[in-house]
Chains A and B, each alone.
Chain A
């Protein structure tokens, strides 16, 4: 009973949610609050919705070329040379985003759990562990995502619950008090927390029911938006707007603020970080998988797993380039936002547009 390369739509949705929600969730409330004060959540929602047209486009693209992978479609539509250039840009993006994510991850672990352990060790161990998942096929990634998905939701609910006793929900006010011209800057800051959605480019063809796949993917996107908004509101109500703007990782800071000795609840940042390790893992694993698949197609190899291990030293080196945590967010983050927009928004759009033009030409 072999069902190779088949992923159910539910697994597809879970894969989307767990891949997208990763390191961004830690700093997102703070970075949007800095730009838009109490209305940061509006920027989060808008940038999430911005991705929906791209998702619809991708769905259309796959329906135009049923049962073909994105690589086959790209080659057919754009020709091998141009598409290979696209792939190389995509690969650069992959490397940088994994490096960024894993560097932030290492910094957080070093800050909260393992102060003296060298960050190189933390990065290498996480990369090696992620390679175990990345070398598998897409349906294994779907299964892992389905197993971690309830844990992710549980983490968010946990955060909301532990903050309830001490939170002041009036901190969310005033709403709609911000200058709406700031929203473009707000979107630029938050758009990159949705990176990772491109996993659907690689998972779509394996879906077992392609007709209703779109419904599930959209549902997943809304769940991500919901998670981010809830996180924002929770951190805002607990910290207040000024402390929120100061905090680098507000999502963990709120766990540091729980002190209910009567209920034996203290020092919960440990649990939050422990669960968050899993969340980051299911982000880096699929991203590394994408890296491997892209390489596989650039070099026209038979499978992607041989490329995973060689990618690790490259990612490791890139992740250590910034000197300090500020540089990571400011320099690397900036470069990454621009490359992300190109790689995951512009490139797929170009493929889609050329495909549509070609189809029209065929008709006439």
Chain B
């Protein structure tokens, strides 16, 4: 809908569309040395930076002594042009002819300036809203490394990434997703590294989304990933800008979404899920050991209760004799069979964890202590659960927290129950069937056409992708970018 040259018509039209939105402010000013020209600014209270509006817009308009407006009928130079180039002291000014777009801009936090007699409105950048300062990311902390995390403002987040890659080839493609939410989405990649086909595919999939609102990157993730039925995430998400920057430098593509501090990185493989930022800031032998420990932690959190069930109920012959007798001795007079015991303890731990997450602060940590010490200890004292099972549950839970990526760890945690059922039915055979089915599923999974199980399953083995997955080799050896992103520029580090 076009803007008319009559100021009142425009203002009335907007008032009509935004009826009931009492947080929209309409301010009329008379400007010009003869105070003849009418000007109206419209903005949303709360989304805008009041200081910019008062000091830079209104004040400069009021001071605009030489402003010769145009009375209806006169065809001199376009007033909005003049106003924008000579009078408005705001950093970013855009011209707009479509009333709907003007409304969109107002709702984002910009201020619309209408001049009587001009059919173009000025959109002044005045965005400012209550926001969180830069904090250390809650879910991924490192001991040594940067402590800034993303916030809910998209522009800050892209800035945090830009600070780390000052390359003109770092592209930020802005998109809007969501019919009603019109959320800003930024797709970032380095043009001469990232593979063109993948970039095109990512943008394609985002454009194809037709949904009311995008609340978080999670929505985006679930709508564009290859297999939404799988329990495993096929896109990696992170709160850390240094992780995003590193990913972009590997040839991956990052997606940042307004209103959430989590960014996405595409494509993702098993290898990437076991990497943590800290690996790159620590010396390589230690980093390799930690990687290894993470893998073991993953296996432990997945399989320990299931192995406990398999060994105590089905195959006590599989452990050395001394251990067998100790285990048997610790289980005397426990009323539950091992399967029930295992399920009970695991469910209890899940309950504790859930309640601990819901309640933050001191109460939350108290629950941890209450749960761990009192329930666990009391259960053993009462003879309901064997002490060995408590240890296994504790090991499982601690391993869960040792895994680098939260989503991945959560998937493993849930699969743990599936494995327990398999073990309860068929013992060790059931566990092995479960492992093998899991492997097949991971082999089938693809992330934007890249096999998910790389580099373990073949893609990139020759190129040495393994050098950065299971172990971490010294930086000097990581000459090439990983193959799974199919980068255009392969060389990272030139050997001297």
Binding site for B on A (CB under 8 A): 1-3, 7-8, 10-11, 14, 109, 113-114, 117, 122, 125-126, 129, 132-133, 136, 139-140, 142-144, 146-148, 261, 264-267, 269-271, 273-274, 277-278, 281, 285
Contact B195 A143 (CB under 8 A): no
Q: How far is the CA of A140 from the CA of B441 in the complex (A)?
A: 9
Residue of A nearest to B449 (CB): A1
Binds A, one of B146-154, B241-249, B426-434: B426-434
The digit string for B58-98, where 1 denotes a CB below 8 A from any CB of A, is: 00000000000000000000000000000000000000000
- Alpha-carbon separation in the docked complex, A2 to B444 (Å): 14
- Interfacial chain A residues near B441, Cβ < 8 Å: 132
Tell whether, in the assembled complex, residue A133 and residue B426 are in contact, meaning their CB atoms are under 8 Å apart: no
B453 at the interface (CB under 8 A from A): yes
The listed residue (B201, B436, B461) touching A10 by CB distance below 8 A is: B461
- Measured as residues with beta carbon below 8 angstroms from the partner, the interface class of chain B is 35 or more
Cβ–Cβ < 8 Å partners of B428 in chain A: 113, 270, 273-274
Q: Which of A117, A133, A144, A271 contacts B457 (CB 8 A)?
A: A144
Tell me which residues from 279 to 323 in chain B have a Cβ below 8 Å from any Cβ of chain A: 314-315, 317-322
Given known A10-B458, A270-B317, A277-B429, contact A144–B198 (CB-CB < 8 A): no
Residue pair B314, A114 in contact (C-beta under 8 Å): yes
Contacts of B433 in A (CB 8 A): 125-126, 129, 277
User: How far, in whole Å, are A266 and B443 apart by their CA atoms in the complex?
Assistant: 34
Chain B residues with CB under 8 A of A264: 320
> Which of A1, A14, A113, A114 makes the CB contact (< 8 A) with B197?
A1
Query: Separation in Å of the B129 CB from the closest CB of chain A?
Result: 38
Q: How far is the CA of A277 from the CA of B436 in the complex (A)?
A: 9
Q: How far is the CA of A133 from the CA of B435 in the complex (A)?
A: 13
List of A residues within 8 angstroms of B450 by Cβ: 1
**B398 lies within 8 A of chain A by Cβ:** no
CB distance from B441 to the nearest CB of A (A): 8
Contact A143 B453 (CB under 8 A): yes
B448 located at the interface, meaning its Cβ lies under 8 Å from any Cβ of chain A in the complex: yes
Q: Which one of A117, A143, A267 contacts B451 once the chains associate, using CB atoms below 8 Å? A: A143
CB closest chain-B residue, reference A269: B318
Interchain Cβ contacts under 8 Å between A and B, 21 examples: A1-B486, A3-B449, A11-B458, A113-B427, A114-B314, A114-B427, A132-B441, A136-B444, A143-B453, A143-B458, A148-B439, A261-B320, A261-B321, A261-B322, A267-B318, A267-B319, A269-B318, A270-B315, A270-B318, A271-B318, A278-B432
**Set of chain B residues within 8 Å of A277, measured between Cβ atoms:** 429, 432-433, 436
Nearest-neighbour CB distance to chain A for B196, whole angstroms, equals 9
Which of chain B's residues have a CB closer than 8 A to the CB of A132?
A: 437, 440-441
Given A129-B436, A129-B437, A277-B436: A140 and B426 interface contact (C-beta under 8 Å): no
Of chain A, the residue at the smallest CB distance from B451 is A143
Shortest Cβ distance from residue B31 to the other chain A in the assembled complex, whole angstroms: 56
Q: What is the distance, in angstroms, from B9's C-beta to the closest C-beta of chain A?
A: 52
Shortest distance between the CB of B485 and any CB in chain A (Å): 9
Residues of A within 8 A of B317 (CB): 267, 270
A136–B443 alpha-carbon span in the complex (Å) = 10
Q: A125-B433, A144-B440, A271-B318 are known contacts; what are 5 more A-B pairs with Cβ within 8 Å?
A: A142-B458, A144-B439, A147-B443, A270-B318, A281-B436
- The minimal Cβ–Cβ distance linking B433 to chain A, given in whole angstroms, is 5
Q: Are A113 and B315 in contact (CB under 8 A)?
A: yes
Identify the interface centre among B197, B317, B442: most chain A CB within 10 Å of its CB. Answer: B317
Q: Which among B427, B449, B457, B461 has the highest number of chain A CB atoms within 10 Å?
A: B457
Task: Quote the shortest CB–CB distance from A260 to chain B (angstroms).
Answer: 10
A183 to B198, CA, bound (A): 57
Q: Which 10 A-B pairs have the closest CB atoms?
A: A270-B318, A143-B457, A1-B449, A277-B432, A143-B443, A146-B458, A11-B458, A266-B320, A133-B440, A144-B443
| Shortest Cβ distance from A126 into B: residue | B433
B462 within 8 A of A: yes
Output the nearest chain A residue to B442 by Cβ-Cβ distance.
A147
Residues from chain A with a CB closer than 8 A to the CB of B195 are 1
- Distance between Cα atoms of A265 and B323 in the complex (Å): 12
Query: CA–CA, A122 to B429, complex, Å?
Result: 9
Q: Does B203 contact A (CB under 8 A)?
A: no
Task: Kindly list chain B residues whose C-beta atoms are within 8 Å of the C-beta of A273.
Answer: 428
Chain B residues with CB under 8 A of A285: 440
Take A114-B429, A140-B443 as given contacts and tell me if A146 and B456 are in contact as well, using a CB distance cutoff of 8 Å: yes
Give the docked Cα–Cα distance between A281 and B428 (Å). 15
Min CB distance B438 to A, Å, is: 10
Fill in one digit per residue for B319-358: 1 if any A CB lies within 8 Å of its CB, else 0: 1111000000000000000000000000000000000000
Does any Cβ of A come within 8 Å of B11's Cβ?
no
Closest to A282 in B: B436
Name the distance in Å between A144's Cβ and chain B's nearest Cβ: 5
Cα A90 to Cα B321 in complex, Å, equals: 49
